[in-house]
Amino acid sequence: MHKKILIEEEIGDILKEKKLTMATAESCTGGGIAALVTSISGSSSYFNGSIVAYQNEVKEQILNVRPETIERYNVVSAQTVEEMAKGAMKALHADCAVATSGIAGPTGGDDERPVGTIWIAAAYHDKVVTMKQEGDDGRAQNIEKAIQNALLLLKKLLKG
């Protein structure tokens, strides 16, 4: 029987193999991605840190998300998570980063961005990819799904 390799282990292996470091910029996932990545022994060799940016001021002042981006596209948008990921790479001196911003629920949704709408970005050097997660499975499941999707997006980006 083969032991199923976890996504957080796969990410760690890729980062070690390529001698890269990573960071996270998390809003709706509240540090969950960082917690999962650092649950792996030896992750200090590739994990630089995390910024849990729940308030817009933190996104703007620490991650350098432009206020115009939030004003024009909303905090729950591809543009915002792109800037968050780039900001995390810069602030935490990392080669790659993931970022999340969304409405985990059960409150906070609207017609344009219903509960369960979460934008995710993965950045590596000057390349950034985003994805929109949709569907409301309850707060805990929405967050868990976003954590997994963020790591899958990063893995895909790192593997080219």
Residue 100: which CATH number?
3.90.950.20
Q: Please indicate, yes or no, if residue 97 is contained in any of the structural domains.
A: yes
3-state secondary structure of 133: strand
CB 89 within 8 Å of CB 132? no
- Helix ranges (H only) for 19-138 are 32-37, 56-61, 67-73, 78-91
pLDDT tens for each residue of 131-156: 999 999 999 999 999 999 999 999 99
pLDDT of residue 104: 96
pLDDT tens for each residue of 85-128: 999 999 999 999 999 999 999 999 999 999 999 999 999 999 99
Identify the domain containing residue 78 by its residue range: 7-159
Q: Please indicate, yes or no, if residue 109 is contained in any of the structural domains.
A: yes
Q: Over 90: is that where the pLDDT of 41 sits?
A: yes
Q: How many domains does the chain have?
A: 1
Q: Name the strand (E) or helix (H) holding 101.
A: strand 96-102
The Cα-based distances of 138 to 40, 91, 130 in angstroms read: 27, 32, 22
pLDDT tens for each residue of 8-25: 999 999 999 999 999 999
Q: Please indicate, yes or no, if residue 1 is contained in any of the structural domains.
A: no
